[in-house]
Structure 1
Amino acid sequence: MKPHAQEPSQEYDAQTRTAGFVEPSGSGRSRAASAPKIVVAAVIGNLLEFFDFTVYSYFALTIGKLFFPAQNAVTSTLLSFAVFAVGFLMRPLGGIVIGRYADRAGRRPALTLTIALMALGAAIIGCAPTYAQIGIAAPVLIVVARLTQGFAQGGEFGAATATLLETGDDRSRGFRASWQLASQGAAALLGSGTAALLSFLLDDAQLHSWGWRIPFLMGTLIAPVGIYLRRHIAEEPSSADAGVRHWRAVDVRNWFLVIFAIMGMSVASYLLMYYLPTYCIQYLKLPAKLSMLVGVGASLTSLVMCPLYGAWSDRLGRRKPLTVIGRIALLVLIYPAFWGMNHFTTLPAVLAMMFVLMLCYTMGSAPAYALMPESFPKAIRAGFMSSAYAISVSLFGGTSQLVAGWLIRVSGNVMAPAWYMMICVVISLIAVSLFEETGGKALKG
């Protein structure tokens, strides 16, 4: 049997058993915390990130009118989505800087920094005066806020995922890592539920005037809780070569594979959970209040299914059968589902087709959230994952709504988003099939 496939050493077991939360006390003693507490601490930044993304997507039409006024409503919406995408320009830089910081200084300080910066960006958006009040300075504030959030979010993924993998029992890494993706569903559910509730409680004038600000200000309240929890994450003892980076050819190869493996799933995620409600309003002509329920359903499906698929990957393996089969199924069903939405434009029909797509998406994605970081040694895990994830999401995920809207506008074909998603999923399927199986093996490094 090859060395990397052997059972974890006694030293490794001792480290994983003691990793967890530091319980503050005068004696400085520590004990391992429960797995749920570890998971919450690691994913709470991801929760804040996608909560903000969700409410921004749901109120993109309102934000476009208030901060990017234009004679054409579609142009105003596209400008709003463009600023949404601007934040992704800073992600690669944040992934490199904060990811490297997490590998050198530790996961805990990096995670504390990212959540503080994300909360600052949310506060700026929630308090920013509109274009009618301060002119061009208004959209500038929104851009600054998105750039700040983008920088923080670039380093969030690698540090948080590394924490989930390295802290806890070796046999449940897939389950723990899947909560990174499940937290996106939880955040999207919370964000879409908040947006839907506000749309039912407030009239259009109230929602346009001040109601849309409430979710962003709510997001800032998550930050103090996250900072408190993350400050109590216990770091694993540093190994002798923790500060040395051995960039092997296989690590560089896997770094490129991560970029393309995330590509398809990122585009699918942003289009299904964040763009689809806008698509339902503009092209399927469903009422806005009903369209928001589509996002709620997609988010709920992600929240429930990701941990299940993650746990199954601990027993069945990461790459096969779940990750590969899930992506193949998604590829086959994308076009029929979008065709059905456009020919059966009722809420139950749209919900049913969305649900099928989300089942495939979560199957192909949740196990991969363990497969990809497990492919790197600890000394470079956070940095390599953060930078690769940030580049992929910046190029493909963050621009997906803008690209989808642009494709429909230039082609006049409402099926254009389906074709774009299919191309991206094909590329990601090829990439993920080239990873070595990591399930049931000790972590590298």
Structure 2
Amino acid sequence: MSVDTAGQAIERLMSLHPKGFDLSLERIARLLSRLGNPEQRLPPVIHIAGTNGKGSAAAFSRALLEAAGRAVHVHTSPHLVNWHERYRLAAPGGGRLVADAVLAEAVERVAQANGGEAITVFELLTAVMFELFSEHPADAAIVEVGLGGRFDATNVIPRPAVSLIMPVSLDHEAYLGDRVELIAAEKAGIIKPGAPVVVGQQEWDAAREVLIETAERLGCPLKVYGQDFIAVEEHGRMVYQDEDGLLDLPLPHLAGRHQIANAAAAIAAVKAAGFALEEGAAERAMTRVSWPGRLQRLPEGRLSALAPEGAEIWIDGGHNPGAGAAIAEALAEAEEKRPRPLLLIAGMLETKDQIGYFRAFSGLVRHVYTVPVRNSDAGVPNSTLAARAGEAGLSAEPVNSVANALRLLAETWNGDSPPRILIAGSLYLVGEVLAENGTPPD
């Protein structure tokens, strides 16, 4: 089989079934029943929901468990470049993205079991995850929610080892509601009676209260950031504290101050799930953790070579105001430590709050180049996006591609120091950039 066999099989499914989400558990439950209910044969599951930080929490949880010698499956979505990124299977020395032949066979098997009945592609791919994770041995499985929680296709797990709820804010309002407490209630849907719950750092008190009330009503052992555990930066280190004491750790390898709270939530979740965590393992995890496309330094490649000489290029797939604020804070700190002019190359989807996202960068970004998002039907036209950046108070102009934005910068840059460039606003855009740069995740 070629490396594209699984991708081709999934593309065929996308031509037969609707794209997007149709939130319900009936179809996935029917399909899993035909498959012999693989969701009931998983290793202990860390189930992760939230608006922002789910992927980082999954990456930290994986790093913590693997540093402690555990074999771990990981499910995340969406992917950046290849469908295989959604399925990382446990392997000696650390998990590996699923082999193409293994994924292709599982996709075909799940499609046959569905028998052409109405279902979404995400539901089919979630069933593939359950099949793969039930068939390959592991000590733990980390499962990221796709959208919401209550009716997300992953929410057929009977009893997770822990439900981890990361920061909740406004996003996907058409599906989840237009008030943060409504969105929190959807995320809280992954909480199961009596199963441990960890609540990560929350910007909104209303969201935190909904999550705490749900866990208490269902009789769940509960750990809440800022109440039962916390982490702070001290003297260039990360100090984590809970009822068991202190962990004095290196700062997380992932960039941004917000990653300290994300790491803390993962530590609390791993412990709540019943896994022993020694300080040495936690220290190794902080230095090894990796999460592509989230405030990641763009590796050297075909695209990065087009930028002004010496430019510092970052990519980030955050796409809502909460994510924008976290990234802007991280880049403001970078500006304090190593001053450079900041330029933004942005592409976004129509379903996102573009103006709210851009406002986070007010007073920080010198200029914005807006580009189309080519891998999504919901991409905002670059001219429209430039106008919305202008409404947020930023200087902006449309350009027809990231490559041309970098070329334009290289031709016109005459600053005293090389620029810092952020390419951001959509995971679809980040995936395009990594593919075009020749540096897909592995």
TM-score under structure 2 normalisation? 0.24
Hey, which of these two has a bigger chunk of strand by percent?
2
Hey, which of these two has a bigger chunk of helix by percent?
1
